[in-house]
Amino acid sequence: MRLNVQELLRGDGVLPFSCELDPAGLDFPSIARYRSPLRAAGSIRSQAGLLELRGEVRVSLDCLCDRCGREYGREAAFSLDTVLADEHQDEEDPDVFLVQDDCVDLDEIVTTAFVLGLDSKALCRPDCKGVCPRCGHNLNDGPCACRPEADSPFAVLGQLLEED
């Protein structure tokens, strides 16, 4: 969605906005499915020739835990806080977006905020125990039947006892 900010470029003021973005093209290994579109709302404020966009992006997701593989639901919110400029001062700055033909591309801003706001590791809960590396049992459901491995240099000798 392109939003015309021509009036804000001429003077001080506030322009509210809200939009929905279909996340169909946003594929991430830890996201099983999107239960809602990306919903963004906020405002663009012009003060002394500077355009600031502030708001929030909300989405409902079904994620896959990176430790145990269990699917879990999550409501996520990401803040929008960016500057709009006529030209880039720093090409690498992810917080500055260009105004082109008196318009800003809200889809690009919302998508960028979503991608940068995602957790680097998706966990069903902070204390997720993961799965047993030997049998694959989900350790959040209780201990598995595997014998614990000894951290001793003599643990190899234990194998001799198992053979008899």
Residue of higher predicted confidence among 13 and 86: 13
Share of the chain above pLDDT 90, in %: 38
Residue of higher predicted confidence among 148 and 2: 2
Residue of higher predicted confidence among 142 and 88: 142
pLDDT, position 24: 85
Reply yes or no on whether the pLDDT at 83 is more than 90.
no
Name the residue type at position 128. Answer: C
Mean per-residue pLDDT for 67-74?
93
Residues 122-136: tens digit of each pLDDT:
999 999 999 998 888
pLDDT, position 89: 62
Mean per-residue pLDDT for 85-104?
69
Query: What pTM was computed for the model?
Result: 0.74
Tracing tokens 């000894």 back to the chain, one arrives at 150
Contact (Cβ atoms closer than 8 angstroms) between residue 20 and residue 41:
no
Mean per-residue pLDDT for 69-80?
92
Residues 108-117: tens digit of each pLDDT:
889 888 988 8
Residue 157 CA, chain-centre distance (Å), reads: 48
* Residue 90: band (very low, low, confident or very high) from pLDDT cuts 50, 70, 90: low
